[in-house]
Amino acid sequence: MKQKSDYSQVVTKAYLDKTLDQRFLLNDAKFDLKLENLERKIDEKAQKYRDEVLTSNDKIIKELEVMREENIIGFNQIARLGRQVSNHEKRIKILESA
């Protein structure tokens, strides 16, 4: 007696390629979704630390601005004192020669 072959269980190359492609696409989509979630979590953590760093830098920048202003004021005071001393020296020479 001949056995009937059941062609419904035969896998063709086209069927196998189609099924594998669908599986790979599904796995790729899952991987992309996981990767996007991971990127989002990393971005959130990085933003938190970036905000902390920038906030701490605000204090440093303020101190630098104060120091620059003090340096400008000091330079102007030194220049003014230098002019006064120069003027005094001229006046003293005039008084000594008289």
What is the C-alpha to C-alpha distance for residues 36 and 48, in angstroms, rounded to an integer?
A: 18
Above 70 in pLDDT, residue 6? no
Helices (H), the chain: 13-97
pLDDT, residue 73, reads: 96
Instruction: Provide the whole-model pTM.
Output: 0.42
Confidence band, pLDDT 50/70/90 cuts, at residue 88 = confident
Cβ within 8 Å of residue 54, ≥6 positions away: none
What is the C-alpha to C-alpha distance for residues 73 and 64, in angstroms, rounded to an integer?
A: 14
pLDDT, residue 75, reads: 95
Tokens at 75, concatenated: 């330079």
Confidence band, pLDDT 50/70/90 cuts, at residue 7 = low
As a whole number, mean pLDDT of residues 33-58 equals 90
